[in-house]
Amino acid sequence: MTSPAAVFAYCRAGFEAEAGLDLARIAARAAIRLDVEAHPGAACVVARSPHVDVAAWDRACAAAPPVFARAIAIGGDAVALTAAPAAGARVDRVTPLVAAIETLAQQRSHAPPWRSVWLEYPDTNEGKALSPLARALAPRVEGELRARRALDERAPRRLRVFLADGQRAFVGTALAEHGDWPLGIPRLRMPRGAPSRSTLKLAEAFAAFLGDDETRLLRAGQRAVDLGAAPGGWTWQLVQRGLRVTAVDNGRLRGEVAGDPLVTHVRDDGLHWRPRRPVDWLVCDIVEQPLRIADLVAAWIADGAARRAIFNLKLPMKKRYDEVQRCEQRMAAVLRPTGAHWTLRLRQLYHDREEVTGYLARDRN
């Protein structure tokens, strides 16, 4: 079933053009015509189409997940929230929202029940000023939906309400998946014992890429290598899960990991060092040209030095999307001759800046 739609996505401020390219690529794969509006600094992208096949979009999104868009939802066009009230009356934003939700619910592809309802806003200073409004509206909208029995925590889709500003909102739905957080922002606290804030990047990467499989894929007793380890933020995350870590860096480790019995510090160049026997995990946060890191990580996986890897690609200031695609192609070129099957995911995480984080795993044939 198709219906007129707007697609809205959240991203890091400054990466609107790249998030727009994510939407355009998914739309092309789903054979959907999409007109994308990407305004610099907005931290969101809105695209419109006369018809969107939601099932086709979901399939295309699963086959080619977005890199820069933190979250994507499909619904109707903008809803006006501030019609002039009667004299002495308060502005009623709940009624137009609920009316828009009811209209959406009439479409089979968006029909309730929904797993939950999230009221969200852009991740900008201006957007954060909307957080009191979102907090005020959320329980009232949720109450209306519960009264209609429109919410069920087992439902596959989530209702997302995006406050573009105090006057307009977009209402849509999206599949509820792991690594999915309100505003696309994980709720992670800086651990007291970690030596650097970079530790949050790896914690988020585990949640985003592994989801419910984290405890199965990251187990105590496994062996890992951390390339470019100093001062030890990523090593700290691995040690907390009981992995034995070889931390490779000419710089020194700091804090708890420096003396941890699970850590072996090797003072060497992470771009050239290799282990004597295969390890379960490779993690790499070396500041280097993206293509060089792509070659490095792909080589570790291709020759069996590591089974799984999480790594960062530091992007150039211009043509960032092109650089990501070049890295994907380079890694495929390294892995394809081995005849192996692999999983590669690239995503700009909330704790990333001018970079994307990658997950590469060699699948069992």
Which amino acids are annotated catalytic?
Answer: 314
351 vs 142: CA distance, rounded Å: 30
22 vs 16: CA distance, rounded Å: 10
CB atoms under 10 Å from CB of 233, counted, come to 25
Contact 247, 268 (CB under 8 A): no
- How is residue 191 written in tokens? 């651990």
Under DSSP, is residue 28 helix (H, G, I), strand (E, B) or coil? helix
97 vs 192: CA distance, rounded Å: 42
Nearest to 252 by CA among 220, 233, 229: 229
Residue 72, amino acid: I
Place of tokens 């985003």: 208
247 vs 244: CA distance, rounded Å: 10
Contact 106, 150 (CB under 8 A): no
Report how far apart, in Å, the C-alpha atoms of 340 and of each of 38, 64, 223, 304, 322 are: 38, 20, 22, 10, 26
